[in-house]
């Protein structure tokens, strides 16, 4: 139990913060209900994938600035391929786009490993390249998406044996998020690759000496990041029905959630659950501030302050715990 608390203390705290925020929301807006929760889940979906993409590389001791651009490119690719095509064609588009994300991510990793140019430079360059490519694919927002894909994240999941009132709190978007992340993350955490990703982030030298293929692991970490970004791109297309070549504010949001989620920017520490919960926290704060009719510019300031305060508080608790 003490082990659990020590390891998961941060995530537990974030969950508590999230619950407090839900209560606050309910107080501000007594009418806040399952429908609003559903739209929160849908809004969170692309952010959550962006955060997952960032989390993997940060744990491996790197950073990926191309996450948002990668999402834009995969989104417009999917949207332009599906525009006017048959419903069944989308069955091919989805794996194609995911593979594309994986390959582009691997390219990121490969460039970093081979050229030894710092990751921040390589992924920044990649950001520009991918942004340009996205505009080449679709000059303006457009394209389309298969109906079944759009339907995947709208509405709720009917859980047999439970009253509709409960079902209403299980939006499909949340389920898609959980399934996609679990299918990749849980086996990864238990594999040697997962361990190696943590190992190279924690201490590259010790990992090398422990026989970890450091370069291969780094490339795979970026490839996984690309895969998650492609999921994010698909989520964008699924929720809007089109593709937009100009990426949203997903890059900075992903870094913010990674930090808030208890992942050390130096690498080696943290998990995926924390950042995902952090995304919900950040989105919900924004919702609350909007409901309070606060100037959006002030909203951004408050979000920044919350992040600093939470991280400082966390560092403070950690230091107290050590003494």
Partner 1 sequence: MTTSPQQQSPLLDASGVAKNYGAVAALRNASLSVLPGEVHALMGANGAGKSTLVKILTGAISANAGRILIRGEARDIRSPAAARRAGLLPVYQEPSLIPDLDVLSNLRLTGTPVEPFRAWVRELGISDLDLRDTARDIPLAILRVLDLARALAVEPDVLLLDEMTAALPANLAEKVLEVVRRQGDAGRAVIFISHRFVEISALCDRATVLRDGATVGVVDIVPGVEEKIVELMLGTRIEKTKVAARAGQGAASAPALPRIAVRNLRVGTKLNDVSFDLRDGEVAGVVALEGQGQDELFAALAGSIRPSGGAIEVDGKPAKFAHPIDAIRAGIAYVPGDRSEALAMQRSVRENIALPFSAALRNWGPIAMGRERATVASAIQRLQIDTRAQGEVQRLSGGNQQKVTIARWIAADARTILCFDPTRGIDVGTKQEIYKLLRELAGNGKSVLFYTSELEEVQRVCDRVIVIFGGRLVDIFSVEEADEPALMRAAYGLPRGAKADVGILADPSANPSDAPAPEARP
* 38-70 exposure pattern, b = at least 16 Cβ within 10 A, e = fewer: bebbbbbbbbbbbbbbbbbbbbbbbbbbbbbbb
**Does 196 interact with partner 1 (rule: CB under 8 A)?**
yes
List 60, 212, 220, 310, residue binding partner 1 (CB under 8 A): 212
CB of 6 to partner 1, least distance (A): 9
Please report which helix (H) or strand (E) contains residue 145, including its range: none
Q: What is the phi/psi pair of residue 112, to 5°? A: -65, -45
Among all chains, which residue has been given the structure tokens 């999402």? 71
Q: Which two tokens stand for residue 34?
A: 């399952």
**Does 207 interact with partner 1 (rule: CB under 8 A)?**
yes
**Which candidate, 211, 217, 176, 171, places its Cα nearest to that of 194?**
217
Give the whole-angstrom CA distance, residue 49 versus residue 228: 6
Site string for partner 1, 269-308 (x = CB under 8 A): x---------------------------------------
**Does 62 interact with partner 1 (rule: CB under 8 A)?**
no
**Does 11 interact with partner 1 (rule: CB under 8 A)?**
no
Looking at the Cβ atoms of 150 and 216, the one nearer to partner 1 is 216
Give the whole-angstrom CA distance, residue 182 versus residue 190: 12
**Does 201 interact with partner 1 (rule: CB under 8 A)?**
yes
Looking at the Cβ atoms of 52 and 197, the one nearer to partner 1 is 197
Q: Which stretch binds partner 1 (CB under 8 A): 25-33, 134-142, 153-161, 211-219?
A: 211-219
CB of 311 to partner 1, least distance (A): 18
Burial, 1: exposed, middle or buried (Cβ in 10 Å; 0-12, 13-18, 19+)? exposed
**Does 5 interact with partner 1 (rule: CB under 8 A)?**
no
Give the whole-angstrom CA distance, residue 43 versus residue 41: 5
Looking at the Cβ atoms of 93 and 263, the one nearer to partner 1 is 263
Q: What residues have CB less than 8 Å from 101, skipping those under 6 apart?
A: 70, 74, 226, 227, 228, 229, 230, 231, 233
Site string for partner 1, 139-178 (x = CB under 8 A): ----------------------------------------
List 1, 3, 86, 320, residue binding partner 1 (CB under 8 A): 3
**Does 116 interact with partner 1 (rule: CB under 8 A)?**
no
Looking at the Cβ atoms of 47 and 198, the one nearer to partner 1 is 198
**Does 268 interact with partner 1 (rule: CB under 8 A)?**
yes
Check: CB of residue 51 under 8 Å from CB of residue 254. yes
Give the whole-angstrom CA distance, residue 233 versus residue 52: 13
List 57, 107, 177, 199, residue binding partner 1 (CB under 8 A): 199
**Does 209 interact with partner 1 (rule: CB under 8 A)?**
yes
Q: Which two tokens stand for residue 257?
A: 């959630």
Q: Which stretch binds partner 1 (CB under 8 A): 32-40, 47-55, 208-216, 271-279?
A: 208-216
**Does 228 interact with partner 1 (rule: CB under 8 A)?**
no
Give the whole-angstrom CA distance, residue 5 versus residue 11: 9
Q: Which residues make up the interface to partner 1 (CB under 8 A)?
A: 3, 192, 195-196, 198-199, 201-203, 205-213, 264, 268-269
């Amino acid at each position: 139990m003490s082990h659990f608390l020590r390891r998961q203390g941060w995530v537990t705290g974030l969950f508590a913060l999230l619950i407090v925020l839900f209560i606050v929301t309910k107080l501000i807006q007594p009418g806040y209900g399952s429908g609003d929760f559903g739209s929160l889940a849908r809004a969170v979906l692309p952010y959550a994938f962006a955060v997952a993409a960032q989390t993997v590389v940060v744990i491996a001791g790197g950073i990926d600035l191309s996450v948002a651009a990668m999402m834009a490119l995969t989104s417009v690719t999917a949207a332009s391929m599906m525009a006017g095509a048959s419903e069944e064609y989308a069955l091919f588009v989805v794996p194609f786009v995911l593979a594309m994300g994986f390959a582009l991510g691997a390219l990121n990793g490969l460039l970093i490993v081979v050229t030894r140019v710092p990751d921040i430079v390589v992924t920044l360059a990649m950001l520009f390249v991918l942004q340009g490519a996205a505009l080449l694919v679709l000059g303006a927002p457009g394209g389309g998406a298969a109906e079944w894909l759009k339907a995947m994240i709208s509405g709720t999941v009917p859980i047999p044996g439970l009253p509709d009132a409960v079902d209403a709190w299980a939006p499909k978007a949340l389920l898609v998020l959980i399934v996609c992340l679990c299918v990749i993350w849980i086996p990864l955490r238990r594999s040697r690759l997962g361990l190696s990703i943590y190992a190279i982030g924690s201490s590259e030298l010790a990992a090398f000496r422990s026989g970890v293929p450091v370069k291969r692991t780094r490339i795979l970490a970026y490839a996984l990041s690309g895969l998650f970004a492609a999921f994010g791109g698909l989520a964008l297309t699924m929720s809007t029905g089109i593709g937009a070549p100009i990426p949203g504010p997903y890059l900075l949001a992903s870094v913010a959630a990674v930090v808030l989620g208890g992942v050390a920017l130096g690498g080696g520490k943290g998990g995926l659950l924390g950042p995902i919960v952090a995304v919900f926290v950040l989105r919900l704060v924004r919702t609350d501030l909007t409901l309070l009719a606060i100037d959006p510019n002030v909203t951004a300031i408050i979000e920044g302050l919350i992040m600093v305060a939470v991280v400082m508080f966390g560092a403070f608790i950690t230091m107290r715990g050590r003494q």
